[in-house]
Amino acid sequence: MAKSKQQMVKVYDGTEDHAKASRDLSRIAAAIDKYRISFNYALKDAGITLDKALLADIGSTGGRKVRELVHGYVATLRDYHRETAASHLLRTVDSLVRDWKMVDAKFPAHTRVPREVCNTPLDLIEITPDGVTVNPMDPAGFDIHIEADNYDALLAFVMAQRKLFGIYGYRTPKIMEGLYQPGNIKEMRATVPRCEESGIGRLARAGML
């Protein structure tokens, strides 16, 4: 059963993450729009225009669907035009695939959009005959909430880490890494039996710590 909002506590404000993702997506959309114009011009004789499905095909299969459309167009031509047209258009598709790889390589590598907002950042981008746009994102989707039952345990864990940093400084992450090794975890559970009950154990197993 889904947790109610009353049982969740907001522990992270995602306003800055939302703003950064919005800027990144705007730059991505501008780059895709520039590519769209080039793509549509290069294949205008074949009547092929870029959409999200074709863009995904170019990225995943190297343009297999685009080549199928080219062959479909070539089949409508007179016999003596087909070979020349096919050779020219397929070379054009090869060039467009290479161009896309260069465009894709320039996209921000660390654009992060929560799964609660979309599966991938490109899901938010729309390609139409008039241009490329970005669908608005809900800023609240970038906030992080945790179960209220785990809030006190997690806060105690954070405060304990701060205390460790005050004592051991830069060595603290290595100390924590050592403590989380399988053998040491078993020993900690034996010496701190309430770890499971307090919620820290559940958070650790869930990968939250």
Give the Cβ contact number of residue 7 at 10 Å: 12
Q: How confident is the model at residue 188 (pLDDT cuts 50, 70, 90)?
A: low
Q: Is there a contact between 140 and 17 (Cβ–Cβ < 8 Å)? A: no
Q: Examine the domain organization and report whether 152 and 100 are in the same domain.
A: no
Determine the pLDDT at residue 160: 85
Residue-wise pLDDT tens digits, 136-173: 999 998 998 888 888 888 888 888 888 888 888 888 88
Determine the pLDDT at residue 187: 56
Q: Examine the domain organization and report whether 132 and 152 are in the same domain.
A: no
Q: Examine the domain organization and report whether 174 and 79 are in the same domain.
A: no
Structural domain that includes position 42:
13-136
Q: Examine the domain organization and report whether 120 and 187 are in the same domain.
A: no
Q: Is there a contact between 189 and 202 (Cβ–Cβ < 8 Å)? A: no
Q: Examine the domain organization and report whether 37 and 121 are in the same domain.
A: yes
Q: Examine the domain organization and report whether 82 and 179 are in the same domain.
A: no
Q: Examine the domain organization and report whether 59 and 152 are in the same domain.
A: no
Task: Establish if 5 belongs to a structural domain.
Answer: no
d(CA 76, CA 71): 9
The least confident of 97-101, 106-110, 142-146 is 106-110
Q: Examine the domain organization and report whether 130 and 149 are in the same domain.
A: no
Total structural domains within the chain? 2
